Amino acid sequence: MDKLPKIGLPILFVIVVLIILIAKSTVTIDSGEAGVLYKTFGGGVVTDEPPLGEGFHVVAPWNKVYVYEVRQQSLDENMQVLSSNGLQIKLDASIWFQPSYEQLGLLHQEKGENYVQRVLQPAVRSAARAVVGRYQPEQLYSSKREAIQQEIFDETKLLLQDQYVQINEVLVRDVSLPATLKQAIERKLGQEQESLEYEFRLTKAAQEAERQKIDAEGKANANKILSASLNDQILREKGIQATVELSKSPNAKVIVIGSGEGGMPLILGNN
């Protein structure tokens, strides 16, 4: 009876050690994540092999696995930047990004788990300052939003070219100017709109005048052609035809043949 506890304690100790070793030797990687293996006695971070994918993995208990999210993520940046004339502009943007999957080991080795703060944010801010500094506040407020967005994306992508971070999109949510400047720009835009509307009305009036002129010229030319084609004989024939048609009318009338000018019929009555 005294021997059983003495035998049971070593067994219990071995079981506890095995449980600890198994817990240290396994790692489960969730969906949208990947693991970077660090070999304590094998050269450190593994960079020449693909990262550990989703699922259950067994690793040596003396090694470590650093888990990264590798699906697309979003970073919101609220920046104060200067326009080309030195005015301060508030720029709100969202950046869609993700770490380069195949280079995850190099990212961990060279940049670390805080790569967003160390690499991505400085690149985005630098690109935004460079791009906004090319434009006047009026352009930022009105017509250049999409162009600025694309240029910030291109600049950031260039800066991150060898940084093991993939940028997918830059979205400019808002561009805020000082209140006084914003009001001045809105007044200017309103005046420009009124000027464009006035020019449009002048253009329409000029077009209508030109149309009436062309119409009048066309009628005048038609009358000239018609006058040139008429002679006394044709007019007399037309008059006779008209008299014949009138004579067929049920209305009472008196027609004197040959009494009109040039021998044309003369209508004396129409009741």
Sign of the torsion formed by the C-alpha atoms of 250, 251, 257 and 260: negative
> Is the confidence at residue 156, as pLDDT, over 60?
yes
Nearest to 169 by CA among 152, 191, 194, 186: 152
Residue 55 in any domain: the answer is yes
* Mean pLDDT confidence for 169-191: 71
Residues 32, 77 within the same domain: no
Phi (first) and psi of residue 74, to 5 degrees: -125, 135
- DSSP secondary structure string, 106-170? HHHHHT-TTHIIIIIHHHHHHHHHHHHTTS-HHHHHTT-HHHHHHHHHHHHHHHTTTTTEEEEEE
pLDDT tier for residue 137 given thresholds of 50, 70 and 90: confident
* pLDDT for 94: 95
Residues 79, 176 within the same domain: yes
* pLDDT for 190: 57
Residue 223 in any domain: the answer is no
Residues 57, 83 within the same domain: no
CA distance 6 to 97: 59
Residues 43, 121 within the same domain: no
Nearest to 39 by CA among 49, 31, 53: 49
Residue 213 in any domain: the answer is no
The residue count of the chain comes to: 271
pLDDT digits (tens, 9 = 90+) for 96-132: 999 999 999 999 999 999 999 999 999 999 999 999 8
Residues 43, 81 within the same domain: no
| Total of domains in the chain | 3
Residues 63, 79 within the same domain: no
* Domain, as residue range, for 58: 18-69
Residues 114, 164 within the same domain: yes
Q: Tokens representing 85?
A: 């004339």
Residue 208 in any domain: the answer is no
Report the DSSP pairing between strands 44-45 and 33-39.
Answer: antiparallel
Residues 153, 240 within the same domain: no
User: Helices 121-132 & 145-159, crossing angle to 10 degrees?
Assistant: 140
CA distance 118 to 159: 13
Residue 120 in any domain: the answer is yes
More confident residue, 150 or 260: 150
Cα torsion at 172, 178, 182, 184 (round to 10°)? -150
- DSSP secondary structure string, 255-271? EETT-SGGG--EE----
Question: Cβ–Cβ contacts within 10 Å for residue 157, how many?
Answer: 16
Residues 6 or more apart whose CB falls under 8 angstroms from that of 68 comprise 33, 34, 35, 36, 51, 99, 104, 107, 108, 113
pLDDT tier for residue 73 given thresholds of 50, 70 and 90: very high
Residue 203 in any domain: the answer is no
Residues 167, 113 within the same domain: yes
Nearest to 156 by CA among 145, 166, 146: 166
pLDDT digits (tens, 9 = 90+) for 183-192: 565 566 656 6
Residue 194 in any domain: the answer is no
Residues 82, 153 within the same domain: yes
3-state SS assignment for residue 123? helix
- For the domain that residue 139 is a member of, what is the CATH number? 3.30.479.30
For the ranges 24-38, 85-99, 239-253, the lowest mean pLDDT is seen at: 239-253
Residues 47, 127 within the same domain: no
pLDDT digits (tens, 9 = 90+) for 139-152: 776 667 788 899 99
Q: How far is CA 165 from the centre of its chain?
A: 24
Segment of 19-33, 127-141, 156-170, 256-270 carrying the highest mean pLDDT: 156-170
Sign of the torsion formed by the C-alpha atoms of 138, 173, 170 and 110: positive
Report the DSSP pairing between strands 255-256 and 266-267.
Answer: antiparallel
Residues 77, 54 within the same domain: no
Q: Decide if 91 contacts 81 (C-beta within 8 A).
A: yes
